[in-house]
Structure 1
Amino acid sequence: MDWDDLRIFLAVARADSLSGAGRRLGIDASTVGRRVARLEGALGAKLFVKTPQGYGLAPEGERLLPHAEAVEAAMGSAQEALSGPGDLTGQLRIGAPDGCANYLLPQVCARLSEAHPRLEIQIVALPRVFNLSKREADMAVAVSQPQAGRLVVQRLTDYQLHLAAHEDYLRAHPPIRRRADLRGHRMIGYIADMIFDRELDYLAETGVEWAALTSNSVSVQMQAIRMGAGLGIVHDFAIPFCPGVRRVLTDEISLRRSFWLIRHADDRRSQRMNRLAEALAQGIRAEVARLQARLIP
């Protein structure tokens, strides 16, 4: 059995399609299909079942999957053993909610790239939970601790959120001295039916029942606040990037959340992945602390 064929098998299993696997591997879908057919012929077994949703694993494919992943891990360990403990190289794909991806990871990954010039870092910002079993990312930052799956979960750091608005908005509207003063002000928040994690339901904790402007992206919300469209709950670490945005009612409305670093359980055996996870964890902790320290009391 050829490792390259197993690599293609894993890509199709994770992408659920020939075209998706081809994009990951940098080859065309027809080549992927031929290689899968060749592997099935060599094994004398049907590995995939074509459905309207794509390519699902057949029972024989399900049985092959853990063995193929074990080979993948062994190949990675062999490469690490030959390359030694020096520079980190290869590709690292990090999945993160867009607040972290926009306001923290660019600085953290810039420093990581400077320290390891041959490391290729990809930041995937999506407002949803990543599927590490399908290798949508090598590791992911999450806003809540997962309760299921073969995962390694590490608490990164706590962070603060507050109600905020641009100073232009605050000058043009009635003063806000207590929570009751929020009535009549325009609120900005998440689209209610697109909140993918209960930890993101910020406005529920303010007592506000309706938002005039909503988005599934925290970065879009922050830009709306920066343009004077209203008030919203924002990450303290994002405020230094938005001159003129000020926190309000800090004594009455203050939220605390946590970031978690999530990895596939099999990656615990990889010295490279352990080093990358530790570097990313240290970088995120330091960046949150640095940015929150810049806020005006």
Structure 2
Amino acid sequence: MPSITELTIYPIKSCAGIALESAELTEAGLRYQGICDREWMLVDLQGQFLSQRELPKMACLRPTIQDGKLQVSAPGMPLLHLPCVRQEQQMTRDVLIWDSELNAIDEGEAAAAWFSQSLGIACRLVRFAADAKRFASNKWTGEKQVPTRFSDGYPILLISQASLDDLNHRAQSQGRSVVPMNRFRPNIVIDGIEAFEEDYAASYDIGDTIQLKPVKPCPRCPMPAVDQLTGEVKENPVDILQSYRANPIVDGEITFGMNVILEKATTNILRIGDVVDMPIAF
């Protein structure tokens, strides 16, 4: 039977992920010890979001969660400790992520200096404000209004292990190196299905308590070229996908993985090993 084999949360957009044994499931994505997926984000001094597309070294910024607190490490830098309790009268700033303009909490001068020194570029760390609202595109979610934070557009990304295995088999046949799953930065990995079978699911059902719904194939940008351990830009596995993963549903873009939303839940915990029933859409 298909089952969940990996769960990952990315507290700071485009920085390293944290592998989990279990996670809370919310409409806006995964949460662990009160810390949400993509709850923080780096922006330039004009408020434009930053990512590994421009700054591959962001992969080397590694958050960890300790007793509900977030700390971040980077090569050659002291640990940065971020208070997770929201403070009164924190400064806010306008930020832009794709076509969404939001008012976000600025995490202050010490965090800005730490990240600016780590990356060699002036930047600010911002946090998704408690009263901020951002939603996935209704073009794909229909009438359902789906909240998200600083994700590229949808609260959850799911990929099957078989899809990665298929890609790596093709890579090896071309004399190229295999790549790990973290190049594609999913929140949920499932195993026990055929390659790309996740594309054709009507839903992903975990027992009788949780139903996830795929809404949009995930178009791929240059980020999978970034080695998530070193921050180095290497051969892009998307080059291989171009030969067989152009998807007419998204105007021929190269897709890998499915953007997913929470359809219903009577419990809110996902665990490694959870069995997934995956009816096929007709």
TM-score by length of 1: 0.21
Higher percent of residues as helix = 1
| TM-score (ref. length: structure 2) | 0.21
Look at both structures and tell me which one has the larger radius of gyration over its CA atoms. Answer: 1
| Bigger RCO (CA 8 Å, 6+ sep) | 2
